[in-house]
Structure 1
Amino acid sequence: MTKLDMAVLTAQWDAPLSIRTRVTTRNGGVSMTPYSSLNLGDHVGDLPENVFTNRAIIRKALPNEPIWLKQVHGTQVSTPSNRLIEADAIVSNVANEVLAIMTADCLPVLFTNTSGTEVGAAHAGWRGLCAGVLENTVKEMRNLHLHGSENILAWLGPAIGPEVFEVGQDVVDAFDDFGVNYPQEAFTPIAQKPGKYLANIYMLARSRLQAAGVGQIYGGQFCTVSQSDQFFSYRRDGVTGRFVSLIWIADGN
């Protein structure tokens, strides 16, 4: 097994055969502590030459250089017609165009339609999730489809788990103020900590995706905080690296 083989996961879902995914772990790169070792973030304080080398490592498994977004915890979607770089989601209907979302606790969500002609990827921290980044991504994917609406599949990648994601009353209030229904059990009050809750980002995402008409939702079994051997976690370590979730449409040639 090569170093690269050990560094990546793939989405487990019923996607068309033309859809390719990769999710890097923290392993298989050259960065030193606290970024050890496959840090792909160029904005976290790591040596630029190490990030360059790490990106070159993953590039060997991809058809093209990924489209690297500047993520700002918003709801903007980069599309083939606007190709924004400052955005928290991206969609494509172009073969071999590699979409990338970097995270270290926030939720990466990968999308495809059932015919494999459109793909998407979104960065869903609690702010973006509350404000509608997933709904915006689904909307832009449907806008790409030339022959009417088609079913969309979503895969929930590695994020902070529901047993450790502590939030304050402000987060609960933000979801209440936004006016969108969500499962009340997504926020569990913490005994002996008034105004503190354990948040289930996977449950919140599933609820928002289902409301947007996404019927097939997969993944959601990870925890970046507790799985320290596999994933970077900002909540756990503060200064740390970033891993990336990737998706593209493979060219059949």
Structure 2
Amino acid sequence: MLMTARDGLHPGTASQPPWDAFNLGNHVGDEPADVQRHREELAAALQAQPVWLQQVHGNRVVRLSSQTLTTLAETQADGAVTTEPGLVCAIMVADCLPILLAAPEGRGVAALHAGWRGLAGAADLNGLGIAHTGVAALCEAASCDPVDLRAWLGPCIGPTAFQVGPDVLSGFGVDPAQSHPRFIPQSANRWLADLAGLAADRLQTLGLHRIEGGHWCTVSAPSRFFSFRRDRVTGRQAACIWLTGL
């Protein structure tokens, strides 16, 4: 498991402002050659190949294998699962929450991209969020139950920075007139939302008990993390998980 930071693997990272320095996103306006250099450096450091997705704030999870590797690269999905060593499930973020899952005995891993819409299962997802589909996909692939899984929540927009409107509460099925521990009222029709806390709640509801992380705020750490909410035009860091085969 590895989480990258914006200052990169070494001082010689390529991207220039506002994408400086170790940007891994090829969809944010950065020079493609610089992004490719960073992706190659990451693969070399991991000694395994990250599979990059085209994330769309949905709930689709793809299963990575050596047979489907070339066809799945840059496919539209917000989660990846694998049971094969050497394939890296990689999620790019810059305020959204990366969720990494591991099955017991090295039987499988998964990486999920959880913005509020994908986590809530909002709009046409009909309440079926990325946590639901991701946990189900890994359990099926690894032949285990949700209680067997371990989860790690990476850096995301923190609970003191994520100001939302009633549409977000509605997406999570929360009545704005009622108090809720994950939504703190600020003013008329504005709340501070705890994205990592909401994800932990969802995972617990699905049966997971071993949940760690979720303590780092991307917005409040500009030297360490990219943040779309803070900077608008910026890069992407990545959360990666893979099986070593050892």
Q: Is 2:115 aligned against 1:111?
A: no
Give the letter aligned to residue 80 of structure 2: I
Alignment partner for residue 86 of structure 1, among 76, 80, 86? 76
Give the letter aligned to residue 6 of structure 2: R
CA distance in 2, matches of 1:230, 1:246: 17
Q: Is 2:224 aligned against 1:230?
A: yes
* 3-state SS, counterpart of residue 98 of structure 1: strand
CA distance in 1, matches of 2:23, 2:99: 20
Give the letter aligned to residue 23 of structure 1: M
Counterpart in the other structure of 2:135: 138
Give the letter aligned to residue 60 of structure 2: Q
Counterpart in the other structure of 1:67: 51
* Structure 2 gaps, min length 5: 122-128
* TM-score, length basis structure 1: 0.85
Give the letter aligned to residue 78 of structure 2: D
CA distance in 2, matches of 1:220, 1:114: 21
CA distance in 2, matches of 1:158, 1:126: 14
C-alpha contact 1:30 1:54 (8 A) present in aligned 2 = yes
Compare 64-73 and 231-240 and name the one that shifted more.
64-73
Alignment partner for residue 170 of structure 1, among 167, 170, 179? 167
Q: Is 2:26 aligned against 1:42?
A: yes
CA distance in 2, matches of 1:184, 1:139: 27
CA distance in 1, matches of 2:39, 2:81: 21
Counterpart in the other structure of 1:31: 15
CA distance in 2, matches of 1:32, 1:63: 26
Give the letter aligned to residue 173 of structure 1: S
Give the letter aligned to residue 34 of structure 2: N
* 3-state SS, counterpart of residue 49 of structure 2: coil
Counterpart in the other structure of 1:159: 156
* 3-state SS, counterpart of residue 41 of structure 1: coil
CA distance in 2, matches of 1:202, 1:80: 26
C-alpha contact 2:158 2:219 (8 A) present in aligned 1 = yes
Q: Is 2:42 aligned against 1:58?
A: yes
Following superposition of structure 1 onto structure 2, how do residues 184-195 of structure 1 map, counting pairs within 5 Å?
A: 184-190=180-186, 193-195=187-189
CA distance in 2, matches of 1:152, 1:176: 26
Deviation at 1:141, TM superposition (A): 0.7
C-alpha contact 1:63 1:98 (8 A) present in aligned 2 = no
Counterpart in the other structure of 1:95: 85
C-alpha contact 1:71 1:123 (8 A) present in aligned 2 = yes
C-alpha contact 1:166 1:198 (8 A) present in aligned 2 = yes
Deviation at 1:49, TM superposition (A): 1.1
Deviation at 1:54, TM superposition (A): 1.3
Counterpart in the other structure of 1:197: 191
Give the letter aligned to residue 166 of structure 1: Q
CA distance in 2, matches of 1:227, 1:114: 33
* 3-state SS, counterpart of residue 110 of structure 2: strand
CA distance in 1, matches of 2:202, 2:169: 15
State the Cα RMSD in Å: 1.7
Give the letter aligned to residue 135 of structure 2: V
Deviation at 1:114, TM superposition (A): 2.2
Give the letter aligned to residue 46 of structure 1: D
CA distance in 1, matches of 2:188, 2:243: 47
Aligned pairs, number: 225
